[in-house]
Amino acid sequence: MNGPVGRHAPARYTRSQRLLTPRDFRQVFKRNVRSSDHCFTVLASRTDGAHARLGTAVARKACGNAVMRNRLKRVIRESFRQVCTSLPSVDLVVIVKPGAGKIANPALRASLSKHWQVINQKCAR
C-alpha cells in the first residue's frame, strides 16, 4: 500500500478555485468586503458558487523582482488552500502592499490567517 495510512487525501488548489477572467476580478472590485493591514488588502465578494475562489494581484512595484512576487503568490495560495473549506462561498482578491516582499513567510501567513477570519465573519452575516 502506497502513501500514509488513515490520513485524508491532501487538499489541492484546483483550477475551479481560481479567479480566471478579468470579469471575475472586476466583480470583486465592484462590490466587496475589505480587510487590510500593512502586508495585504483582501477583497471578498459573496457568490452563488459552491466554494471560495482566489485571485491575486502582486504588482512589480509592490515587491520587486519575479522571485519575490512568486514567493508571495505561493504563500497566499498555500494559506488559502489550507482554509478554503472553512470559508463561505466568496470570490477573493488578495492585493499585496509595497514592502510585503521583505517580510518573513511566518509573518505573512499570520497576516493572511487574520484576513481569512475577518472575511469569514463579515461574509457570514
Is residue 113 a part of any domain in this protein? yes
pLDDT at 125: 63
Give the mean pLDDT of 64-79: 94
Question: Taking residues 74-86, what's their average pLDDT?
Answer: 93
CATH assignment at residue 77: 3.30.230.10
Question: Residue type at 36?
Answer: S
100/12: higher pLDDT: 100
Confirm whether 4 is domain-assigned.
Answer: no
More confident residue, 1 or 50: 50
What's the pTM value of the predicted model, to 2 decimals?
Answer: 0.87
Nearest to 116 by CA among 75, 88, 97, 96: 88
Q: What is the pLDDT of residue 6?
A: 43
How far, in Å, CA of 97 to CA of 95, rounded? 6
For residue 83, being part of any structural domain is answered with: yes
User: Quick check: is 12 in a domain?
Assistant: no
In a domain, 7, yes or no: no
